[in-house]
Chains A and B, each alone.
Chain A
Amino acid sequence: MSKLPTPTEILGQSFQFLPQESQLLLITSVLGTSPSWLTYSLLHHSLTNGENVVFVSFINEFAYFREGGKRHGLDLPSHLKKGTLTFIDGFSKLFLPSVASQAQPITSALPPSRVGVIPSRGPIAPRQIPPPQSAATSTDPIKYISLGPSLSPSALKQLDVIKSTLQRLGSNGVRPKLVIEGLEVLLAAAGIDVRVIEDMVYDLREISSTTTILLPSDSVLLQTSPSSTPLELSHANLMISLGHTADAILSLRFLDTGVAKDISGVLKVTRGAGNLGETGGVVEEKEMLYYESDTGVRIFARGSGGH
């Protein structure tokens, strides 16, 4: 088991005073810097505090996080069993032909949960106490999103499973946390309009406490020029609009000066334009170095050597 820095270590002591409703945390990374450890750190913090977490990934399957979490002492399957963690797998079956996905009993469990915003509150509200347990026992704890090989407008409804899961978990008054990884796949590979995705993120933020979004921020995806294609423009669009509404931005990048053997990269913490100032919570803006190894992840100030 290895050690991870806690979110408080990363974001500063006063981070916990940030408004807990509809908070947005943006984690950006570049090719080759994996933000997984930040995810584990946040998951660890939330899950050990008994909060409900909905984890959506469009680029990795659950086994990936199970393995990685295990190395950081995070037993995701047990949280999945308890119902505190809900994993929505938008990766494994996202573009597989519907025939294959229909053959899976798991996806056939989707339609019942896929209901409109308002009606769903009615039937779910009565069973306030058991929802997590019943959810864990009655259905597969991992939900799948499958858009099918050819994207049809109706396929987008599949994404509502995120919303309905959040609503179900939040029906007892405590909003769950939300982590989304790989939205860029919806944008670039599925070809969903950036405005649809932004709307979806806003909708989801409304019904969750902290939303954490992980996005790649390579400069080629962000720098727009007259020759940019819609692919780059929409990614930049999404990134910038999220960056402007985020409460805090954590960005991972390589060391500017080259590769060092005891430094994995640079972690920059930036204050966003979100809900700051109302509750006195302030994210300390800082830039640190981090080093990932077998023994965990260490963050340290530039020049402190990290020994």
Chain B
Amino acid sequence: MSFRKRSVVLNTSGGNNPTSNPTASDAPPSTPPTPPAKGVRPSFLTGVPTTSTGTASLDALLSGHEGLPLGSMVLIEESSTTDFAGALLRYYAAEGIVQGHDVVVVGVGEAWGRELPGLSDRKEDNEDIKRKGKEERMKIAWRYEALGNRRTTDSSPSLQMGTDASEPISLFCHTYDLTKRLTIPSSSKPPTYIPPPSPTSSSPFSSILSTLYPLLSTASSTNAITRVIIPNLLSPLLYPPVSSHPTHLLQFIHTLRSLTRQYSHILTIMISFPLPLYPRTTGLTRHLEHLSDATIELHPIPTFLARFEMTKSSSSSTSTDDIPQGLVKVWKAIEGKKGTGIVGSSSKGDGGGGVVGMEGGDDLAFMLTRRRMRIERFSLPVDEGDDDGGGGEGGHKAHNPSSTVGEGVGGVETGRKMHKVDLEF
């Protein structure tokens, strides 16, 4: 079993070539500027081609694939009037543009696209991720370290295909700076914008779909990786009231789902959805979740509360970067192995533990800083100093004795806190 699995991965990672070879035969005359396999790498779990969401920590959430498998649709729900989901979507769009993918933005105008975050110009930033990742990984189980090494080595072959001037394309997932604006590199196509449905149309989504079909069939013929981004689906600012009728919305989503399957070699879709308008307690939202491949809810919590909780135990040293702005809930995890319904990977030791975070059922929090969005394991700070790291884990519903993985983030934080507490006493 293990031998077979390994061979699958090796074959496909043997240089993204299986994916790029057929294209090389079909496509080269038509698309020299967009190397097809750029920004695509095989899943660490199954070897299916995946692409990055633009947020490294979100990639890590995807059931061990370490990337978003092509042919899947992700629903990002946000249970507040904030726009954290918008940040995730912008990273996803920016990553697509930097990698030279086709980016299709539905429902919002070009103004949305002008606010894409620029690549972080801090040279050390990308290095920073690697190094920081490595440091953290040292504290994680050894098998994760191996995964991390593969991450860095694996990404290098795919880069050589790209010849982008602006940035060393040595990364599967880039780092962005929200304070900057992305300048579209000459090698990339500018995003395509599909206007929102007109307020009077009786079938609001048909216009979107009829624009999308030809785009996808062209992209498919040239094997151009395509990202479809639908920000704030059903927001009354963009969509007419009739579009929230179940038959309209769910037919649209069902069609998108079937498109992801039909174009499973090029297409990924990311949708953000405002929960305050369509709560999860409605059948409409639940059907939407059932039809998507992954459902992630961002649940912002008032910052002051988090700040208070954090500063209570660690006074000044904690920079604002470490204060979570909300919780992340994975309601539906992407299937680890297609067709099985298994969301985790047993090689990681967690199996399909139901609602899966990075590791079955841990609480997750997100932090949006000026420079990047991170999703990390969340644990309430410890009140008293006891043994290192372990205290922060106590609150977890499923304490995972099999590994020290839980300490990845919690351990670092609590470690620092411990230090502080000691000084205070």
Contact = CB atoms under 8 A, between A and B. Distances in A.
Interface of A: 31-37, 59, 61, 63-72, 91-97, 100, 149-151, 184-185, 188-191, 216, 218, 220-221, 228-229, 231-232, 235, 254-255, 257-265, 291-295
B169 to A, nearest CB: 32
- In the complex, which range does the number of interface residues on chain B fall in? 35 or more
17 contacts: A31-B290, A32-B332, A32-B355, A36-B340, A66-B339, A91-B258, A96-B258, A97-B213, A185-B250, A189-B246, A189-B251, A231-B283, A232-B282, A254-B355, A259-B353, A259-B361, A261-B360
Interface in B371-415: 397-398, 400, 402
B223 interface: no
B283 A188 contact: yes
Of the candidates B203, B287, B400, the one having the most CB atoms from chain A within 10 angstroms of its own CB is: B287
A143 to B, nearest CB: 16
Of the candidates B258, B284, B350, the one having the most CB atoms from chain A within 10 angstroms of its own CB is: B258
Contact of B254 (A189, A255, A264, A295): A189
Contact of B247 (A32, A61, A71, A151): A151
Contact of A31 (B203, B213, B332): B332
B261 A92 contact: yes
B307 interface: no
A118 B333 CA distance: 46
Given A190-B247, A259-B355, A293-B352, A64 B286 contact: no
Interface of B: 1, 203, 206, 209-210, 213, 246-247, 250-251, 253-255, 257-258, 261-262, 264, 280-287, 289-291, 295, 331-333, 335, 337-343, 345-347, 349-356, 359-361, 397-398, 400, 402
B246 A188 contact: yes
Given A92-B261, A258-B361, 8 more contacts: A32-B332, A65-B339, A191-B247, A216-B286, A221-B286, A259-B360, A261-B351, A263-B354
Contacts of B342: 34, 292-294
Of the candidates B257, B335, B342, B345, the one having the most CB atoms from chain A within 10 angstroms of its own CB is: B342
Contact of B261 (A34, A70, A91, A231): A91
Contacts of A34: 335, 340-342
A147 to B, nearest CB: 9
A307 to B, nearest CB: 13
Contacts of B206: 149
A151 to B, nearest CB: 7
Nearest to A262: B351
B341 A92 contact: no
Contacts of B291: 59, 185
Contacts of A151: 247
Nearest to B249: A189
A41 to B, nearest CB: 12
Contacts of A94: 254-255, 258
Contact of A292 (B247, B341, B397): B341
A103 B88 CA distance: 38
Nearest to B261: A61
B360 A220 contact: no
